[in-house]
Amino acid sequence: MAERQRHREIPSENRASEHLANERTFLAWVRTTIALISLGFVLARIGPWLSESGTHAPHLITKAWPVGMGLVIFGALLTMLAAWRYDAVNREIEAGRVKTDRALVWSVTIAIMLLSGVLILYMLMAPEK
C-alpha cells in the first residue's frame, strides 16, 4: 500500500502563484474576522443606545452585550490564527514544500460548532419577554 505524502513539492516557477494564493486566503480570513468583529461591536453597543432612546428592552440589552463581546473576541482570535497560518504557509512555500494542515481545519470547525451550540442553548434557555 502506498504511503501518503506529507508534503507537496512546489517547483520554483510556481512559487509566485502559491504566494498569491496564500495571500488571497489570508485576506478571506481577514474579511471574515472584520465581519465578526463589526457584528459583535454593533451587538455590544445596541444596549446603551436602546436605553437612551427610552425603549424598554432590558432583556434584549442583557442578551446583546455578551453575544457581541463574544463575537469581537472570537474575531480577534481568528485574526491571530489567520496571521499565524499565513506565516507558516509562507515559510513552507519558500522552502519549496507545502502540506495541508487538517488539524487546523478541524480545530476551527470544532470551535465554531461549539460556539454555535453554546449560543443556541443560551438563546433557547433565556426567557422570552
What gap in Å lies between CA 111 and CA 55, rounded to an integer?
35
> Is 128 inside any structural domain?
no
> Do the beta carbons of residue 91 and residue 1 sit within 8 Å?
no
14-23, 60-69, 97-106, range with the lowest pLDDT: 60-69
C-alpha cell at position 45:
453597543
37-68 pLDDT per residue, tens = 998 888 888 766 666 666 555 665 667 778 88
Q: Which amino acid is at 59?
A: H
Specify the pLDDT at position 30.
Answer: 93
> Is 8 inside any structural domain?
no
> Is 5 inside any structural domain?
no
The pTM (predicted TM-score) of the whole model is 0.70
> Is 32 inside any structural domain?
yes
How many structural domains compose the chain?
Answer: 1
Buried b (16+ CB within 10 A) or exposed e, 77-99: ebbebbeebbeebbebbeeeebe
Domain that holds residue 65: 14-99
> Is 117 inside any structural domain?
no
What gap in Å lies between CA 10 and CA 75, rounded to an integer?
32
